[in-house]
Amino acid sequence: MTESFNFEQHVSGPTNQKGHTLDLVFSLDLNIANLCVKDVHMSDHSCVLFDLLFNPESTPSEITSQRRIITENTAARFSEMFDSNLFLESQDVDSLIHSLNSRCKSILDVVAPFKSNRVTRKPFSPWINEHSELEKTVQENGTPVEVY
């Protein structure tokens, strides 16, 4: 059954006191190393320990996001700089649209320039979930957080 799903089973020896292999570790395209079965004397089952080997992102990548800085007087400044008389000449529709877009963009670049932000992405951590984030918050703040 495990072969049909391409699972790899890593435990090969007994995992309980009666000599049976009852505790299993299956993986699919993961590197499992240093697997060992330890009797911790707390149960009739042994503890199965192993290392999961994976390559995290070597360096977090940076993303540059851009947005325009728009203030309360941006529209007024745009209107002052925009001259609709430039588009009165008879042109074909494509040329007119191109000219209008080009003029609007150049005015926007002056009245609402782009602001760039560099955002560093954190490396992917598959073991961090909503519950572990909540526990981290509790540890940092010292007070429990209620989630509704």
Give the contacts of 117 (CB within 8 A, at least 6 positions apart). 64, 65, 66, 67
Is 136 inside a domain boundary?
A: no
Number of domains in the chain: 2
Chain-wide mean pLDDT for the chain?
82
Give the contacts of 17 (CB within 8 A, at least 6 positions apart). 39, 44
Verify that 7 and 47 share a domain, yes or no: yes
- Three-state DSSP class for 76? helix
pTM of structure: 0.40
Is 134 inside a domain boundary?
A: no
More confident residue, 33 or 142: 33
Domain hosting residue 81, numbered range: 62-118
Verify that 95 and 48 share a domain, yes or no: no
Verify that 45 and 14 share a domain, yes or no: yes
What the block records as the tokens of 92 is 């074909």
> Per-residue pLDDT tens for 63-101?
777 888 899 999 999 999 988 777 777 678 888 888 888
81 membership: H or E segment, kind and range: helix 74-81
Verify that 36 and 81 share a domain, yes or no: no
pLDDT above 60 (res 148): no
Verify that 33 and 6 share a domain, yes or no: yes
Instruction: Name the band, by pLDDT with cuts 50, 70 and 90, for residue 107.
Output: very high
Is 126 inside a domain boundary?
A: no
